[in-house]
């Protein structure tokens, strides 16, 4: 592993445990179980102190989903949601399940966000199934087109009574 750059976040102490990259900036909490998050540029310069202040609980971790920030309310079995533009507190989202443990880091899977258009990536099986269907449709179309060269027509003359023979004629069509 190669270190590209080391930066110092001036308001964060050595026990800081939540940092996220967003919109070419960094947001980080000040300390372990703190509730204040500051915004920095990528060189570690403080851009906005106390951008987020969690009013409800001690916080750890932070995640940004393109619209909102989420911080774990470490002892309250919930996540605090904040406006991604202003940093204002919106609400708490309760964690589900009985096995909720102390969450200290968060991340967002953008492919699972149904409200962000264009982020759903089809799985390989779906692509293969679609391609197989298209090949089948193309094959059927070519088969139908080649049948236009040979059309069998039933002779319009009524067969003699008692005869079960039907006369077939081959006609070449002029399909362009």
Q: 45 in helix, strand or coil?
A: coil
Q: Counting Cβ atoms within 10 Å, is residue 52 exposed (0-12), middle (13-18) or buried (19+)?
A: buried
Residue 4 confidence (pLDDT): 86
Give the pLDDT confidence of 19-77 residue by residue, as tens digits: 888 899 999 988 887 889 999 999 999 999 999 998 877 888 899 988 999 988 887 88
In 8-150, where do the E strands start and end?
A: 19-22, 25-29, 36-40, 46-53, 59-64, 68-73, 78-83, 89-94
Give the pLDDT confidence of 122-151 residue by residue, as tens digits: 566 767 777 777 777 667 666 665 554 444
Residue 121 confidence (pLDDT): 55
User: What ranges do the domains of the chain cover?
Assistant: 19-112, 124-171
Residue 106 confidence (pLDDT): 75
Residue 156 confidence (pLDDT): 46
Is the pLDDT confidence value at 13 over 90?
Answer: no
Are the beta carbons of 89 and 57 closer than 8 angstroms?
A: no
Rounded CA gap, 43 and 96, in Å? Answer: 38
| Four-residue CA torsion sign, 117, 120, 121, 123 | negative
Architecture of 19-112 per CATH?
Beta Barrel (2.40)
Number of Cβ within 10 Å of residue 27's Cβ equals 25
Give the pLDDT confidence of 68-113 residue by residue, as tens digits: 999 888 878 888 999 999 999 999 988 876 666 667 777 766 565 5
Residue 171 confidence (pLDDT): 47
Q: 87 in helix, strand or coil?
A: coil
């Amino acid at each position: 592993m190669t270190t590209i750059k080391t930066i110092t976040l001036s308001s964060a102490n050595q026990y800081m445990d939540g940092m996220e990259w967003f919109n070419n900036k960094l947001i980080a909490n000040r300390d372990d179980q703190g509730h204040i998050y500051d915004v920095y540029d990528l060189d570690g310069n403080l851009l906005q102190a106390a951008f987020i202040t969690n009013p409800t609980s001690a916080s750890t971790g932070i995640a940004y989903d393109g619209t909102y920030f989420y911080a774990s309310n470490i002892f309250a079995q919930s996540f605090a949601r904040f406006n991604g533009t202003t940093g204002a507190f919106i609400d708490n989202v309760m964690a589900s399940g009985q096995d909720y443990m102390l969450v200290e880091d968060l991340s967002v899977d953008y492919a699972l966000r149904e409200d962000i258009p264009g982020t759903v990536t089809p799985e390989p099986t779906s692509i293969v199934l679609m391609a197989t269907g298209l090949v089948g449709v193309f094959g059927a179309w070519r088969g139908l087109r080649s049948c236009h060269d040979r059309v069998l027509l039933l002779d319009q003359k009524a067969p003699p009574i008692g005869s079960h023979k039907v006369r077939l004629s081959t006609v070449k069509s002029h399909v362009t």
